[in-house]
Structures are given as C-alpha cells and as structure tokens.
Structure 1
Amino acid sequence: MKKLLLAIVLTLAFAVPALAGSGELYLYIWSEYIPDEVVENFTKETGIKVHLSTYDSNEAMYAKIKLAGDGYDLIVPSSDYVGLMRRQDMLLPLDKSKLTNFPNLSDKFTDQPFDPDNTFSVPYMWGSTAIAVNTGTLGEAAVTSYADLWKPEMNGRLLLPNDPREVFAIALKSLGYSLNDTDPAHLEQAYQKLKALMPYVRVFDSDSPKQALLSGEVSVGVIWNGEAYIANQENPEIQYVYPKEGFSMWMDSLCIPKGAKNLDEAHAFLNYLLRPDVAAAISTEMGYSTPNAKAAEFLEPEVAGNPIVYPDAATAAHGEFQDDIGEAMKLYEDYWVKLKGSND
C-alpha cells in the first residue's frame, strides 16, 4: 500500500511553475525522514535538483547552522528550536504568497507560540516519543510505564535516543514533573535518577533506533513513533507503549535559514510538501503523523487508524508537547555531558 500511494504521488499531474533560479535546493533534514520517491518526483515535476544532508539531533543541526551561517536552503527543526532560532534571528520570513497550499494545514498545528502566524515555519510532521518493547522477549506486561525501565531485567537491554530533552523527559515524567521543567532542583533530581539508569543503556541512537530492536541487540527502546511503526510492520511483537506517566509529543517544521541562496526553490519545495497527496505519502512511508488536514482522504485506514501513528484523543491527552526552555537548556546540556561520560 505504501508503494501504491507513492505511485499516485509520482503520477498525479499537479503543475509546479518553472523557476528562473539556480535549479538547486539544499535540504538539511533528520535521518530517514522523507521518502526518496517524494524527492525524486519533485525533481521530475520542477527540474530542481535536491541535495539532501541529514542530522540526528536538533543540537547537531543548530550547531552547524550557527557555525556555517549558510549552505542550506531548508532545515527541519523541532518546535523548541524553531522558537530558539527565531529569537536569535537565524531564520528568514516565509513568502506566504508562494505557499498556496498552506491552507491545507490543520488549525491545530498553525499559529503556535513558538512561531506566531507561522512567520518562519511550515509544520512538517508531528508525533510522539514513547517505549517500543519486544514482547517476544520481555512479555506483554513487562513495560507499561517509564518506571519499568529501571527494573533490573532491563540491564543491558535498553536503547535511548541521543537527545538530552527526550532522555530527561523520561526522568521528569517519572518524577511527576513537566518535560518542559526548568526548576534547577527538579533537574538535579532527574539527573540523579538518570545516573542510575545509565548502566542499563546498551546504545544511544537517534539515527535509526529500530535497527537495534529488529536485530535483537536491545529489547526495549525509547524511540519516536515513526521508528516504532516501521519496526512493528517488520516484527509485530515489537509493540509501542504509551507510558502511564505521560509522554513527549513534538512537531517538526520546515524553515529557511538566514544565508539561504535558493529562495524560489525553497518555497516551491515547501508548497509541494503541503500538497495533501504528498503529505499522505510521507506519513504512510515514514510512520509519522501529518498536520495536513486535507491529507486524510489519501490515507489508507490501516495508517489513519494505527494508534502508533495517530493516537486516539484519550491517549494524546496524556502527551505533552516539547516547548522552548530558554536558558535552562544549558543546564540540560551540562547534565547530559556528565551522563554520557558516565556511560562510556
């Protein structure tokens, strides 16, 4: 079904105006976050060649853009980093007149506090970070909460994302705090709790964590829902568990960094991604949720009704969106260096 939807995208005749620019586009995006066929189809329709580079964390993307200053036309930061980069004057405002497909987006995901009126960002995908469990090795009831990750039987069987915000969310939620907490005393408690978990961690991976689960290298992993969706498709014993303490939700957006040279091409690509058929194809292939309301008619029931991809309202109510935590991020990062050092 994935291939069928992508084939529809490859053949639907939505004309994209020819551009007088360079015909090149430099995209800097998360690993395994856009189907090759979608990019190839864009090039076929427009003649614009897409040069794709990838990263595995917001921190890596931010550092590179901060240091390099230019070289990329589109980046895909999470909501907290959109807010950070907007405040630091690192982004260019969008030309909404070139984004005729923008109204396809659901109002639930636009005009957010991190970027009022979407001056600098276009929602790309949203999702959750929760727990993938190999029930074939651990059993159905072994993990129902973040607290279960500290069980002795998880020692050496655990995967965590290579991401300080996501890892601290585990401890903060298990302590009953917000995952956006900035109280130094609460962060100290979370750090101490995570210190006890570090010996259990077999691998940190934000590139393709599903591989360690599928290979059997680990039995449980805190991963993004798209990775869990693909792993579950290959091995149904790998189940996605929304922990009872609550869990992290996030949204990634497309932005044009200052220094971008191919602005017409960037806007053409943004408008293409906002097409409902394209948005549906990306959601189907990647296993993440699209903020594109018009895409629903292109989603097959097995995707639209899959709780890994689209949790029901009752489940989603226990999720908490990541927000910008301002200067507190420095404390997170300091503790993160200590935690990673203790795990070497």
Structure 2
Amino acid sequence: MKRILYGMLALAALLVMMTPVVAAEKVVNLYIWSEYIPDEILANFTRETGIRVNISTYDSNEAMYAKVKLVGKGYDLVVPSSDYVGLMRREGMLQQIDTKKIPNFSMISPRFTNQSFDPNNGYSVPYMWGSTSLAVNTSLLPAGTVEKTADLWKPELKGKLLLPNDLREVLGVGLKVLGYSINETNPEHLRLAFEKLQSLMPQVRVFDSDSPKQALLSGEVAAGLVYNGEAYVANGENPAITYIYPPEGFSLWLDSFCIPKGAEHVEAAYAFIDYVLRPKISAAISESMGYSSPNIQAVALLSEAMKKNIIVNPTEEMVAKGEFLDSLDEKTLKIYEEYWVKLKTK
C-alpha cells in the first residue's frame, strides 16, 4: 500500500513539474507599439496554434526599454527600433535568436538583415520598416507653407504642431535642420540642435507617438512629425492630409522582434515570429497598418494601390534621402536624454 501511495505521490509531483512546461507552450506575452498589429492576426494565430497572445503596448522605445529593464521578466517578445535593439543587445537584455527555428526568416530581404546594430541577426528579426516625416493638413494651412523641416518654425504653425514622444526623432529634427546626421555623436552639434529646438517648442501643441493621426484628423494640429503608417491612415480618411519627404533628409527606422532575457515562453515566441513572417500574413499586416514590410514575398502580394502608395512604399530616390536610426553609445545617449528632458519640461 505504501508503495502504491509513494508511486501516486511521485506521479503527482511529476505532473506538477510538467504543468508549467505545457502551459509555457500555450501563451506568448507580446509587448509592442500601440496600433501595430491587427487583432484578427492575433486571433487567427491562436485559432491555428492554440497559443494565446497577451498583448501590452507602449508609445516609445524609452518606455519599453525602461519597463523591460525594470521588471526583468513577463514579456516573451518585444519590438524595439534598430537603435534600441543595439542598446539592449549591448546591455545583455536579449536572448540570442536561433533563426533555424524560424523557417520564414528566409523571406526577409537581405537589405534589412545583418545590420550594424545587430550583426548576423543574432538578437533580432525584422518586423516592419518605415519613415518618420512631415504630415500636413493642407486644408488648414496655405499652400506651400510646409515643404521642408525648417518650415516647422514658421509663425503659422504656432501651437499647431505635433511631435512624437521620441527623443531620437525630435532631436533628429534639430540635427537635420542644421545639416547633421540623425545619428550625430558630436556633443557640440547636439548642443546646437538642442538650442535650435528650444525655439520650436512654442509651436508644439502635443507630443504623441500613440495615435498622432487623431490630432491631425480632428484639426487639433495642422502639421506633425509622424510615422508613415499613421500618415497613411490619416490620408485615407482625409486626403487633404499629405505626407512629405523633405529634401534635407528624414528618419528611417526598422522595428524588429526580440526575445528578452527573462522570456518564459520562448518556443511560443518562435512560433509567433514565424507565423507573422508568412508572406500572406506580413502582407495583410502591411495593408492594414500602412507600414512597409521587409518581407520580399509579402511586398509582391500587396495590392497595386498599396505598392504605388509612396507613403507606404517610397521610391528608391525618396529612400536615398532618408537615414536609418542607428544605436548610440551610452555616453552619447545620455546627452540625448538630458536634452530631451529639458525640452519637454521647460
């Protein structure tokens, strides 16, 4: 009898030990930008795999980085931009990616792989790319009021400008106007950009990276520095809202899936990444969100209207004027952060 009892206890203990492992395969905790993946994609993934997707959102790389660094665990996938992929990789916050577990990784254009911020994609898998540039409600401003970044300082825009809640993008405005790189590291150039931006602050009505299209559509602002996907949706609802690629250059970015060091559902995370990289799924996401896909076959599946839409798929000549955000060293990033705080609190 004791032998049977001991055997039952051992079996119960074994089942208790096994339960978390089984549960780990049935959920993936996704931490992603607001309005960045369609609900139906998540629902279809769950129907097909049985893996539930718990989604949390953020409106800036800084917020995501601070949260992941603070909590340590709780998220299985995060979607940082290129500069923060580099930062989080250097700080040991990410797990190495085994691309052999992601068959659809082969769908990604070589143009977006093996970047300087993550050589050989050891820690990241490209999800979306796009631009951050000028959106203008032409029904609220005289024709030709905003054609380049320097026009944001015009008196017609006082109290009518939107900027993203993003230190790199905003500091990038000051740098570009002065003819510097958005990846500038020279402290003197950063100081000059900060001083230039101080005179722009009276123009700013709101900082918003969450859903800036709302302020444009409501008429709360007349122009803004926004992500191209937001401009795409706004333009679809109000054609008077146009998207401009300024001649002096603008910001390009690449957002990627990363698995944080504290992830508890790694295999589920791999399954989700591979699912999203299916050409039909990537194409559906791009069509819905208005952002550019790094997936070669997905681009081929887009509607002709989407392929020709320069907000989503700019020409090579337009892209050539842009500059991809790269990661910064810790010392330089601290300078950016100090100027960012001063700009927002003054």
TM-score for both structures, normalised by structure 1: 0.93
What secondary structure is seen at the aligned counterpart in 2 of 1:233?
Answer: helix
| Deviation for aligned residue 1:103 | 0.5
1:134-178 Cα deviation digits (max 9, x unpaired): 011113311110100000111011000011100011110000000
Matched, 1:31 2:34: yes
| 1:15 aligned residue | none
What secondary structure is seen at the aligned counterpart in 1 of 2:55?
Answer: strand
1:289-318 Cα deviation digits (max 9, x unpaired): 000001123200111110000100111100
Matched, 1:331 2:335: yes
* Counterparts of residues 43-58 of structure 1 (less than 5 Å): 43-58=46-61
| Partner Cα separation in structure 2 for residue 313 and residue 297 of structure 1 | 16
Unaligned runs of 5+ residues in structure 2 are: 1-21
| 1:341 aligned residue | 345
Unaligned runs of 5+ residues in structure 1 are: 1-18
| Partner Cα separation in structure 2 for residue 268 and residue 140 of structure 1 | 49
Runs of 4+ in 1 over 2 A off after TM superposition: 19-22
For residues 22 and 191 of structure 1, do their structure 2 counterparts lie closer, same or farther at Cα, with a shift above 3 Å needed?
A: same
Structure number, greater radius of gyration: 2
Matched, 1:195 2:198: yes
Contact preservation (8 Å) 2:24, 2:264: no
| Partner Cα separation in structure 2 for residue 192 and residue 30 of structure 1 | 30
Letter in 1 for 2:335: L
| Partner Cα separation in structure 2 for residue 128 and residue 144 of structure 1 | 16
Matched, 1:161 2:168: no
| 1:4 aligned residue | none
1:259-291 Cα deviation digits (max 9, x unpaired): 100011000001001100010011110000000
Letter in 1 for 2:296: A
Matched, 1:262 2:286: no
What secondary structure is seen at the aligned counterpart in 1 of 2:172?
Answer: helix
What secondary structure is seen at the aligned counterpart in 1 of 2:199?
Answer: helix
Please provide the CA RMSD for this pair.
1.0
| Partner Cα separation in structure 1 for residue 299 and residue 269 of structure 2 | 25
| Deviation for aligned residue 1:27 | 0.1
| Partner Cα separation in structure 2 for residue 314 and residue 81 of structure 1 | 27
| Partner Cα separation in structure 1 for residue 100 and residue 340 of structure 2 | 42
What secondary structure is seen at the aligned counterpart in 2 of 1:124?
Answer: strand
1:113-146 Cα deviation digits (max 9, x unpaired): 1111111110000000000000111133111101
| Partner Cα separation in structure 2 for residue 36 and residue 226 of structure 1 | 16
| 1:105 aligned residue | 108
Letter in 1 for 2:92: D
What secondary structure is seen at the aligned counterpart in 1 of 2:182?
Answer: coil
Matched, 1:252 2:244: no
Letter in 2 for 1:333: E
| Partner Cα separation in structure 2 for residue 129 and residue 230 of structure 1 | 14
Matched, 1:176 2:201: no
| 1:11 aligned residue | none
The size of the alignment, in residue pairs, is 324
Matched, 1:238 2:241: yes
| Partner Cα separation in structure 1 for residue 143 and residue 45 of structure 2 | 43
| Deviation for aligned residue 1:95 | 2.2
Residue among 274, 278, 282 paired with 1:271: 274
| Deviation for aligned residue 1:258 | 0.4
Percentage of identical aligned residues: 61
| 2:11 aligned residue | none
| Partner Cα separation in structure 2 for residue 86 and residue 168 of structure 1 | 23
| 2:10 aligned residue | none
| 1:41 aligned residue | 44
| Partner Cα separation in structure 1 for residue 289 and residue 25 of structure 2 | 30
1:172-211 Cα deviation digits (max 9, x unpaired): 0000000100111111111111100001100000100000
